[in-house]
Amino acid sequence: MTSSKNVQDTHISDQLRRLHGALLDIVAAMNRPRRDEDLIAAAGIPLDGALFPLLVLIERFGPIGVVDLADRVGRDHSTVSRQVARLEESGLIARRPGVTDRRVRDAVATQEGRATCRRIDVARERLMRGALADWDGKELDALVRLMGRFAAAFGAALPQDRAGSLDAPTGRLGDAGLPTAGKNGRGDGGA
């Protein structure tokens, strides 16, 4: 029994390694500057490269606060706060007080922002249709289903941002001294 289980285990390990490779390829593709450039060009508006992803996220997941946005892009909330402010100046998004929580100032896409995103959507869909041109409909359905499920499971399994575990200060003793890159560094992530 241990034999078959080990076979299973190595098979799963291989599969997970392949999955990681696919993740790296996808992240690499998303990181290509040319991709954003083309989509920005489709937007028809001279938009800063850093502001572009935020606009898309706000239009897609808005109304959304700065903290949630910062968590998505992996940057400090202060950085995102300034970028959102610039995006507001451009007129593509607007801020409004949160309905249930008055601490948050939700960001929402304006009509112009939504129109811009629709142009971007058209370009993106054209790009994806080109990439998946020779795909079977059944396979696309399976990809969307499985990848959506994986994205949810992966995001949920990831460790959340530890705020301030002020209690249990005795825990993790022995980690003092070492500059374990505690929290600083602008690592983009992707490994």
Partner DNA sequence: TCCATATGTGTGTATAATGCACATATATGG
Partner DNA sequence: CCATATATGTGCATTATACACACATATGGA
Picked from a second copy, DNA, none, the partner binding residue 22 (CB below 5 to 8 A depending on kind) is: a second copy
Picked from DNA, a second copy, none, the partner binding residue 173 (CB below 5 to 8 A depending on kind) is: none
Residue with tokens 């054209």: 126
Between CA 14 and CA 80 the distance in angstroms is: 38
Q: What sign results for the dihedral spanned by CA atoms 17, 18, 23, 26?
A: positive
CB atoms within 10 A of CB 58: 24
Q: Is residue 73 near a second copy by the rule CB under 8 A?
A: yes
CB 66 within 8 A of CB 77: yes
Binding mask 35-64 toward a second copy (x if CB under 8 A, else -) reads xxxxxxx----xxxxxxxx-xxx--x----
Backbone torsions φ then ψ of 64, nearest 5 degrees: -145, 145
The closest alpha carbon to 45, from 123, 143, 99, 104, belongs to 123
**Closer by beta carbon to a second copy, 33 or else 99:** 33
Site residues for a second copy, 119-148, by CB under 8 A, read 120-121, 124-125, 127-132, 135, 137, 139-144, 146-148
Kindly indicate which of the ranges 13-21, 85-93, 98-106, 108-116 contains the residues binding a second copy, using the contact rule CB under 8 A.
13-21
Which residues lie near DNA (CB under 7 A)? 33, 48, 50, 65-68, 74-79, 81-85, 95, 98, 100-106, 163-164, 166-167, 182-186, 188
